[in-house]
A and B are shown apart, each in its own frame.
Chain A
Amino acid sequence: MLFFSYFKDLVGQEVTVELKNDLAIRGTLHSVDQYLNIKLENTRVVDQDKFPHMLSVRNCFIRGSVVRYVQLPPDGVDVDLLHDAARREARGA
Protein backbone atom coordinates (compact mmCIF):
# COMPACT_ATOMS: atom_id res chain seq x y z
CA MET A 1 0.00 0.00 0.00
CA LEU A 2 3.02 2.28 0.36
CA PHE A 3 3.23 3.21 -3.30
CA PHE A 4 -0.53 3.59 -3.53
CA SER A 5 -0.39 6.27 -0.82
CA TYR A 6 2.72 7.69 -2.39
CA PHE A 7 1.08 8.13 -5.79
CA LYS A 8 -2.05 9.53 -4.17
CA ASP A 9 0.11 12.31 -2.77
CA LEU A 10 1.36 13.08 -6.27
CA VAL A 11 -2.13 13.77 -7.65
CA GLY A 12 -2.19 17.05 -9.54
CA GLN A 13 1.46 16.87 -10.53
CA GLU A 14 2.80 16.53 -14.05
CA VAL A 15 4.22 13.04 -14.69
CA THR A 16 5.43 10.99 -17.61
CA VAL A 17 4.30 7.37 -17.71
CA GLU A 18 6.39 5.04 -19.82
CA LEU A 19 4.57 1.90 -20.87
CA LYS A 20 5.84 -1.58 -21.58
CA ASN A 21 5.22 -1.00 -25.29
CA ASP A 22 7.69 1.94 -25.26
CA LEU A 23 4.92 4.51 -25.52
CA ALA A 24 5.48 7.43 -23.14
CA ILE A 25 2.53 9.57 -22.09
CA ARG A 26 2.86 12.87 -20.25
CA GLY A 27 0.01 14.44 -18.36
CA THR A 28 -1.38 15.63 -15.05
CA LEU A 29 -1.93 12.84 -12.54
CA HIS A 30 -5.68 12.72 -11.90
CA SER A 31 -5.98 9.59 -9.80
CA VAL A 32 -4.46 6.26 -8.83
CA ASP A 33 -6.16 3.15 -7.51
CA GLN A 34 -5.14 0.04 -5.58
CA TYR A 35 -3.79 -1.67 -8.73
CA LEU A 36 -1.74 1.45 -9.50
CA ASN A 37 -3.92 2.06 -12.52
CA ILE A 38 -3.29 5.69 -13.41
CA LYS A 39 -5.59 8.34 -14.81
CA LEU A 40 -3.96 11.25 -16.61
CA GLU A 41 -5.45 14.51 -17.82
CA ASN A 42 -4.24 16.83 -20.60
CA THR A 43 -2.19 14.01 -22.01
CA ARG A 44 0.22 14.09 -24.86
CA VAL A 45 2.39 11.34 -26.20
CA VAL A 46 6.08 12.19 -25.82
CA ASP A 47 7.09 11.30 -29.39
CA GLN A 48 3.95 12.16 -31.36
CA ASP A 49 5.56 11.76 -34.77
CA LYS A 50 6.52 8.20 -34.01
CA PHE A 51 3.32 7.42 -32.08
CA PRO A 52 0.31 9.24 -33.58
CA HIS A 53 -1.99 6.58 -32.15
CA MET A 54 -3.39 8.78 -29.40
CA LEU A 55 -3.60 12.14 -31.15
CA SER A 56 -7.26 12.65 -30.29
CA VAL A 57 -6.97 11.54 -26.66
CA ARG A 58 -6.73 14.18 -23.93
CA ASN A 59 -7.67 12.12 -20.88
CA CYS A 60 -6.69 8.55 -20.38
CA PHE A 61 -6.71 5.58 -18.06
CA ILE A 62 -3.52 3.51 -17.99
CA ARG A 63 -3.70 -0.01 -16.64
CA GLY A 64 -1.17 -0.49 -13.85
CA SER A 65 0.05 -3.75 -15.36
CA VAL A 66 1.47 -2.04 -18.48
CA VAL A 67 3.40 0.69 -16.68
CA ARG A 68 7.19 0.39 -16.87
CA TYR A 69 8.23 3.70 -15.31
CA VAL A 70 6.58 6.76 -13.87
CA GLN A 71 8.84 9.77 -14.24
CA LEU A 72 8.19 12.19 -11.41
CA PRO A 73 8.86 15.87 -10.95
CA PRO A 74 12.05 16.23 -8.86
CA ASP A 75 10.28 18.17 -6.13
CA GLY A 76 7.60 15.51 -5.94
CA VAL A 77 9.97 13.12 -4.19
CA ASP A 78 10.67 13.47 -0.49
CA VAL A 79 13.39 10.82 -0.22
CA ASP A 80 13.63 10.92 3.60
CA LEU A 81 9.90 10.52 3.99
CA LEU A 82 9.90 7.64 1.52
CA HIS A 83 12.83 5.99 3.36
CA ASP A 84 10.97 6.20 6.66
CA ALA A 85 7.74 4.91 5.16
CA ALA A 86 9.56 2.02 3.47
CA ARG A 87 11.24 1.02 6.74
CA ARG A 88 7.96 1.19 8.59
CA GLU A 89 6.31 -0.97 5.92
CA ALA A 90 9.18 -3.48 6.08
CA ARG A 91 8.73 -3.75 9.85
CA GLY A 92 5.10 -4.50 9.18
CA ALA A 93 3.94 -1.51 11.20
Chain B
Amino acid sequence: MSLQQFINEAISPWMKEEGPDSDIVMSTRIRLARNFDQTPFPIIAKSQNLEKILDFFQQEYHHQSFNNYHDLEFVKMSDLQPIEKRVLVEKHLISPHLAENAELGGALISKNEQVSVMVNEEDHIRVQLYFPGFQLEEALDQAFELDDWLEEKINYAFDEKKGYLTSCPTNVGTGMRASVMMHLPALTLTQKVNRMIPAINQLGLVVRGIYGEGSEALGNIFQISNQITLGRSERDIVEDLQSVVNKLVEQERKARHILVEQSELQLEDRIFRSCGVLQYSRIIESKETAKCLSDVRLGIDIGYIENIPKTILNELMVLTQPGFLQQYAKKTLSPHERDILRASLIRERLKLEK
Protein backbone atom coordinates (compact mmCIF):
# COMPACT_ATOMS: atom_id res chain seq x y z
CA MET B 1 0.00 0.00 0.00
CA SER B 2 1.30 3.47 -0.80
CA LEU B 3 1.73 5.96 2.01
CA GLN B 4 -0.90 8.26 0.54
CA GLN B 5 -3.39 5.43 0.46
CA PHE B 6 -2.53 4.40 4.00
CA ILE B 7 -3.00 7.95 5.26
CA ASN B 8 -6.33 8.21 3.47
CA GLU B 9 -7.54 5.20 5.36
CA ALA B 10 -5.90 6.14 8.62
CA ILE B 11 -7.19 9.67 8.95
CA SER B 12 -10.88 9.99 9.65
CA PRO B 13 -12.61 12.00 6.88
CA TRP B 14 -13.94 14.57 9.34
CA MET B 15 -10.40 15.31 10.52
CA LYS B 16 -9.42 16.60 7.10
CA GLU B 17 -12.01 19.35 7.26
CA GLU B 18 -11.14 22.66 8.80
CA GLY B 19 -13.49 23.79 11.57
CA PRO B 20 -13.90 27.13 13.33
CA ASP B 21 -10.82 28.33 15.28
CA SER B 22 -8.92 25.35 13.95
CA ASP B 23 -5.60 27.13 14.45
CA ILE B 24 -6.05 26.34 18.14
CA VAL B 25 -9.01 24.04 18.63
CA MET B 26 -8.29 20.70 16.99
CA SER B 27 -11.59 18.96 17.64
CA THR B 28 -14.80 18.92 19.64
CA ARG B 29 -16.40 15.81 21.09
CA ILE B 30 -19.70 15.06 22.81
CA ARG B 31 -20.21 11.75 24.57
CA LEU B 32 -23.49 10.51 26.01
CA ALA B 33 -23.73 7.49 28.34
CA ARG B 34 -26.95 5.50 28.13
CA ASN B 35 -28.23 2.14 29.39
CA PHE B 36 -31.06 -0.28 28.71
CA ASP B 37 -33.56 -0.10 31.58
CA GLN B 38 -34.14 -3.79 32.27
CA THR B 39 -30.65 -5.21 31.75
CA PRO B 40 -27.86 -5.29 34.34
CA PHE B 41 -24.92 -3.03 33.46
CA PRO B 42 -22.00 -4.64 31.61
CA ILE B 43 -19.76 -5.02 34.69
CA ILE B 44 -22.04 -7.70 36.15
CA ALA B 45 -24.35 -8.67 33.28
CA LYS B 46 -24.43 -12.29 32.16
CA SER B 47 -22.93 -12.96 28.76
CA GLN B 48 -26.33 -13.83 27.30
CA ASN B 49 -27.58 -10.34 28.26
CA LEU B 50 -24.65 -8.72 26.52
CA GLU B 51 -24.93 -10.96 23.47
CA LYS B 52 -28.57 -10.00 23.18
CA ILE B 53 -27.59 -6.33 23.08
CA LEU B 54 -24.94 -7.00 20.43
CA ASP B 55 -27.50 -8.85 18.31
CA PHE B 56 -29.97 -6.03 18.76
CA PHE B 57 -27.46 -3.48 17.46
CA GLN B 58 -26.42 -5.72 14.60
CA GLN B 59 -30.03 -6.20 13.55
CA GLU B 60 -31.41 -2.72 14.07
CA TYR B 61 -28.54 -0.41 13.16
CA HIS B 62 -26.02 -2.18 10.92
CA HIS B 63 -26.02 -0.49 7.47
CA GLN B 64 -28.55 2.11 8.60
CA SER B 65 -28.06 5.83 7.97
CA PHE B 66 -28.97 8.79 10.10
CA ASN B 67 -28.72 12.45 9.03
CA ASN B 68 -25.22 12.99 7.64
CA TYR B 69 -23.95 9.78 9.09
CA HIS B 70 -24.21 7.28 6.32
CA ASP B 71 -23.81 3.59 6.29
CA LEU B 72 -23.28 2.88 9.95
CA GLU B 73 -21.18 -0.22 10.37
CA PHE B 74 -21.48 -2.42 13.41
CA VAL B 75 -18.39 -4.39 14.44
CA LYS B 76 -18.01 -6.84 17.30
CA MET B 77 -14.77 -6.67 19.28
CA SER B 78 -14.47 -10.45 19.05
CA ASP B 79 -14.21 -10.19 15.26
CA LEU B 80 -11.23 -7.83 15.36
CA GLN B 81 -7.50 -8.52 15.55
CA PRO B 82 -5.61 -6.85 18.44
CA ILE B 83 -3.88 -4.43 16.03
CA GLU B 84 -7.19 -3.50 14.40
CA LYS B 85 -8.63 -2.70 17.83
CA ARG B 86 -5.56 -0.65 18.67
CA VAL B 87 -5.99 1.38 15.50
CA LEU B 88 -9.60 2.14 16.46
CA VAL B 89 -8.36 3.24 19.88
CA GLU B 90 -5.73 5.53 18.36
CA LYS B 91 -8.39 7.05 16.13
CA HIS B 92 -10.39 7.60 19.35
CA LEU B 93 -13.28 5.64 17.89
CA ILE B 94 -13.29 3.19 20.76
CA SER B 95 -11.87 3.38 24.28
CA PRO B 96 -8.91 1.33 25.53
CA HIS B 97 -11.35 -0.26 27.99
CA LEU B 98 -13.60 -1.52 25.20
CA ALA B 99 -10.64 -2.85 23.21
CA GLU B 100 -8.98 -4.65 26.09
CA ASN B 101 -11.68 -5.73 28.52
CA ALA B 102 -14.98 -5.93 26.72
CA GLU B 103 -15.02 -9.31 25.02
CA LEU B 104 -18.70 -8.85 24.31
CA GLY B 105 -18.29 -5.26 23.20
CA GLY B 106 -19.09 -3.70 19.88
CA ALA B 107 -19.04 -0.41 18.05
CA LEU B 108 -21.36 1.24 15.56
CA ILE B 109 -19.27 3.57 13.41
CA SER B 110 -20.41 5.92 10.65
CA LYS B 111 -18.62 5.94 7.32
CA ASN B 112 -17.12 9.40 7.91
CA GLU B 113 -16.09 8.23 11.41
CA GLN B 114 -17.74 11.20 13.02
CA VAL B 115 -20.11 9.01 14.97
CA SER B 116 -19.12 6.06 17.07
CA VAL B 117 -21.50 4.25 19.40
CA MET B 118 -19.67 1.96 21.78
CA VAL B 119 -21.73 -1.00 22.95
CA ASN B 120 -21.21 -2.85 26.24
CA GLU B 121 -18.39 -0.66 27.45
CA GLU B 122 -18.79 0.49 31.06
CA ASP B 123 -22.35 1.42 30.07
CA HIS B 124 -24.47 -0.40 27.50
CA ILE B 125 -24.31 2.54 25.14
CA ARG B 126 -21.78 5.33 24.74
CA VAL B 127 -22.64 7.68 21.91
CA GLN B 128 -19.73 9.78 20.66
CA LEU B 129 -19.65 12.53 18.05
CA TYR B 130 -16.58 14.32 16.75
CA PHE B 131 -16.39 17.65 14.98
CA PRO B 132 -13.37 19.43 13.50
CA GLY B 133 -12.44 22.68 15.25
CA PHE B 134 -14.58 24.41 17.82
CA GLN B 135 -18.26 23.42 17.35
CA LEU B 136 -19.75 22.61 20.73
CA GLU B 137 -23.32 23.72 20.03
CA GLU B 138 -23.49 21.97 16.71
CA ALA B 139 -22.07 18.84 18.29
CA LEU B 140 -24.62 18.91 21.12
CA ASP B 141 -27.56 19.40 18.72
CA GLN B 142 -26.42 16.49 16.60
CA ALA B 143 -25.79 14.33 19.65
CA PHE B 144 -29.34 14.98 20.89
CA GLU B 145 -30.80 14.08 17.51
CA LEU B 146 -28.81 10.88 17.35
CA ASP B 147 -29.81 10.09 20.93
CA ASP B 148 -33.51 10.56 20.07
CA TRP B 149 -33.09 8.35 17.03
CA LEU B 150 -31.61 5.54 19.11
CA GLU B 151 -34.26 6.02 21.78
CA GLU B 152 -37.04 5.29 19.29
CA LYS B 153 -36.13 1.63 19.68
CA ILE B 154 -34.52 1.48 23.11
CA ASN B 155 -36.02 1.95 26.57
CA TYR B 156 -33.34 3.90 28.39
CA ALA B 157 -32.69 3.58 32.11
CA PHE B 158 -33.94 6.99 33.20
CA ASP B 159 -35.16 8.36 36.49
CA GLU B 160 -37.03 11.63 36.94
CA LYS B 161 -34.79 12.76 39.77
CA LYS B 162 -31.47 11.19 38.87
CA GLY B 163 -31.67 11.49 35.08
CA TYR B 164 -29.91 8.96 32.87
CA LEU B 165 -28.72 6.13 35.08
CA THR B 166 -25.14 5.06 34.48
CA SER B 167 -22.85 2.44 35.90
CA CYS B 168 -20.49 4.99 37.42
CA PRO B 169 -21.89 7.66 39.74
CA THR B 170 -19.66 10.24 38.07
CA ASN B 171 -21.77 10.07 34.89
CA VAL B 172 -25.31 10.00 36.27
CA GLY B 173 -27.69 12.77 35.24
CA THR B 174 -26.95 13.99 31.77
CA GLY B 175 -24.47 11.19 31.07
CA MET B 176 -22.68 13.80 29.02
CA ARG B 177 -19.00 14.52 28.69
CA ALA B 178 -18.30 17.46 26.38
CA SER B 179 -14.67 17.95 25.49
CA VAL B 180 -12.52 20.15 23.35
CA MET B 181 -9.00 19.32 22.20
CA MET B 182 -6.72 22.34 22.04
CA HIS B 183 -3.19 23.02 20.82
CA LEU B 184 -1.70 25.53 23.27
CA PRO B 185 2.02 25.85 22.47
CA ALA B 186 2.42 29.54 23.35
CA LEU B 187 0.57 29.30 26.67
CA THR B 188 2.71 26.28 27.55
CA LEU B 189 5.97 27.93 26.47
CA THR B 190 5.21 30.98 28.59
CA GLN B 191 4.09 28.69 31.47
CA LYS B 192 0.70 30.39 31.62
CA VAL B 193 -1.26 27.18 31.23
CA ASN B 194 -0.29 25.90 34.66
CA ARG B 195 -1.54 29.06 36.24
CA MET B 196 -4.85 28.93 34.38
CA ILE B 197 -5.68 25.30 35.21
CA PRO B 198 -6.73 25.83 38.87
CA ALA B 199 -9.15 28.57 37.84
CA ILE B 200 -10.64 26.34 35.16
CA ASN B 201 -11.01 23.51 37.67
CA GLN B 202 -13.06 25.75 39.91
CA LEU B 203 -15.71 25.93 37.22
CA GLY B 204 -16.15 22.17 37.34
CA LEU B 205 -14.04 21.63 34.23
CA VAL B 206 -11.03 19.36 33.88
CA VAL B 207 -7.87 20.03 31.91
CA ARG B 208 -5.58 17.20 30.95
CA GLY B 209 -2.92 16.31 28.44
CA ILE B 210 -4.49 14.04 25.92
CA TYR B 211 -1.53 12.06 24.69
CA GLY B 212 1.01 12.22 27.50
CA GLU B 213 0.69 10.58 30.89
CA GLY B 214 -0.33 12.33 34.08
CA SER B 215 -0.07 16.08 33.90
CA GLU B 216 2.37 16.08 31.00
CA ALA B 217 0.75 17.15 27.76
CA LEU B 218 2.47 15.58 24.79
CA GLY B 219 2.62 17.93 21.83
CA ASN B 220 1.07 20.73 23.91
CA ILE B 221 -2.33 19.22 23.26
CA PHE B 222 -4.84 19.63 26.07
CA GLN B 223 -8.32 18.33 26.56
CA ILE B 224 -10.82 20.48 28.42
CA SER B 225 -13.99 18.73 29.55
CA ASN B 226 -16.81 18.93 32.08
CA GLN B 227 -16.63 16.98 35.33
CA ILE B 228 -20.16 17.46 36.63
CA THR B 229 -23.11 15.64 35.06
CA LEU B 230 -25.79 16.00 37.72
CA GLY B 231 -27.83 19.10 38.48
CA ARG B 232 -26.87 21.17 35.47
CA SER B 233 -28.38 20.98 32.02
CA GLU B 234 -26.37 19.99 28.97
CA ARG B 235 -26.80 23.47 27.49
CA ASP B 236 -25.48 25.15 30.65
CA ILE B 237 -22.49 22.83 30.83
CA VAL B 238 -21.66 23.41 27.18
CA GLU B 239 -22.03 27.17 27.63
CA ASP B 240 -19.51 27.17 30.49
CA LEU B 241 -17.09 25.08 28.51
CA GLN B 242 -17.54 27.33 25.53
CA SER B 243 -16.74 30.49 27.43
CA VAL B 244 -13.61 28.95 28.97
CA VAL B 245 -12.41 27.69 25.60
CA ASN B 246 -13.05 31.11 24.05
CA LYS B 247 -10.94 32.66 26.78
CA LEU B 248 -8.15 30.15 26.21
CA VAL B 249 -8.21 30.76 22.46
CA GLU B 250 -7.96 34.49 23.06
CA GLN B 251 -5.09 34.06 25.56
CA GLU B 252 -3.23 31.65 23.29
CA ARG B 253 -3.47 34.09 20.36
CA LYS B 254 -2.22 36.89 22.59
CA ALA B 255 0.68 34.77 23.86
CA ARG B 256 1.64 33.84 20.28
CA HIS B 257 1.61 37.49 19.34
CA ILE B 258 3.86 38.40 22.28
CA LEU B 259 6.24 35.53 21.52
CA VAL B 260 6.64 36.71 17.94
CA GLU B 261 7.18 40.29 19.06
CA GLN B 262 9.61 39.63 21.87
CA SER B 263 11.68 36.71 20.69
CA GLU B 264 11.11 36.33 17.01
CA LEU B 265 14.52 34.90 16.14
CA GLN B 266 14.54 32.36 18.97
CA LEU B 267 11.05 31.26 18.05
CA GLU B 268 11.88 30.98 14.38
CA ASP B 269 15.02 29.04 15.23
CA ARG B 270 13.10 26.61 17.43
CA ILE B 271 10.45 26.04 14.79
CA PHE B 272 12.87 25.44 11.93
CA ARG B 273 15.07 23.16 14.05
CA SER B 274 12.01 21.04 14.77
CA CYS B 275 11.15 21.11 11.10
CA GLY B 276 14.66 19.90 10.33
CA VAL B 277 14.42 17.08 12.85
CA LEU B 278 11.19 15.85 11.29
CA GLN B 279 12.58 16.13 7.77
CA TYR B 280 15.92 14.45 8.34
CA SER B 281 15.99 12.23 11.41
CA ARG B 282 16.38 8.46 11.06
CA ILE B 283 15.25 7.42 14.54
CA ILE B 284 12.63 9.36 16.49
CA GLU B 285 10.67 8.65 19.68
CA SER B 286 7.03 9.61 20.06
CA LYS B 287 7.83 12.27 22.65
CA GLU B 288 10.24 14.12 20.39
CA THR B 289 7.84 13.68 17.49
CA ALA B 290 5.07 15.34 19.45
CA LYS B 291 7.28 18.26 20.43
CA CYS B 292 8.52 18.85 16.89
CA LEU B 293 5.05 18.50 15.38
CA SER B 294 3.75 21.07 17.84
CA ASP B 295 6.52 23.49 16.88
CA VAL B 296 5.95 22.99 13.17
CA ARG B 297 2.20 23.44 13.55
CA LEU B 298 2.85 26.69 15.41
CA GLY B 299 5.21 27.72 12.60
CA ILE B 300 2.45 27.12 10.07
CA ASP B 301 -0.10 29.09 12.11
CA ILE B 302 2.25 32.05 12.55
CA GLY B 303 3.22 31.96 8.90
CA TYR B 304 6.91 30.93 9.06
CA ILE B 305 6.25 27.69 7.24
CA GLU B 306 4.17 27.73 4.11
CA ASN B 307 4.45 24.50 2.18
CA ILE B 308 3.03 22.14 4.79
CA PRO B 309 -0.72 21.72 5.34
CA LYS B 310 -2.28 22.72 8.66
CA THR B 311 -3.71 19.31 9.36
CA ILE B 312 -0.19 17.86 9.69
CA LEU B 313 -0.28 17.90 13.49
CA ASN B 314 -3.60 16.06 13.80
CA GLU B 315 -2.58 13.67 11.08
CA LEU B 316 0.90 12.73 12.23
CA MET B 317 -0.04 12.61 15.93
CA VAL B 318 -2.41 9.81 14.98
CA LEU B 319 -0.22 8.12 12.37
CA THR B 320 2.94 7.89 14.44
CA GLN B 321 1.38 6.01 17.34
CA PRO B 322 2.41 2.39 17.85
CA GLY B 323 -0.80 0.81 16.53
CA PHE B 324 -0.72 2.62 13.23
CA LEU B 325 2.99 2.06 12.70
CA GLN B 326 2.49 -1.64 13.16
CA GLN B 327 -0.49 -1.72 10.89
CA TYR B 328 1.56 0.10 8.26
CA ALA B 329 4.38 -2.41 8.69
CA LYS B 330 1.84 -5.24 8.85
CA LYS B 331 3.72 -6.85 11.75
CA THR B 332 4.55 -6.39 15.42
CA LEU B 333 7.49 -4.04 15.96
CA SER B 334 9.84 -3.52 18.89
CA PRO B 335 9.99 0.05 20.29
CA HIS B 336 13.32 0.60 18.49
CA GLU B 337 11.93 -0.63 15.18
CA ARG B 338 8.95 1.67 15.68
CA ASP B 339 11.24 4.68 16.18
CA ILE B 340 12.93 3.91 12.87
CA LEU B 341 9.68 3.43 11.00
CA ARG B 342 8.22 6.55 12.61
CA ALA B 343 11.15 8.64 11.35
CA SER B 344 10.86 7.26 7.85
CA LEU B 345 7.09 7.67 7.73
CA ILE B 346 7.38 11.33 8.76
CA ARG B 347 10.10 11.98 6.17
CA GLU B 348 7.97 10.40 3.46
CA ARG B 349 4.89 12.30 4.54
CA LEU B 350 6.69 15.64 4.38
CA LYS B 351 8.05 14.79 0.94
CA LEU B 352 4.49 14.34 -0.32
CA GLU B 353 4.03 18.07 0.09
CA LYS B 354 6.97 19.18 -2.00
Q: Do A and B come from one complex?
A: no
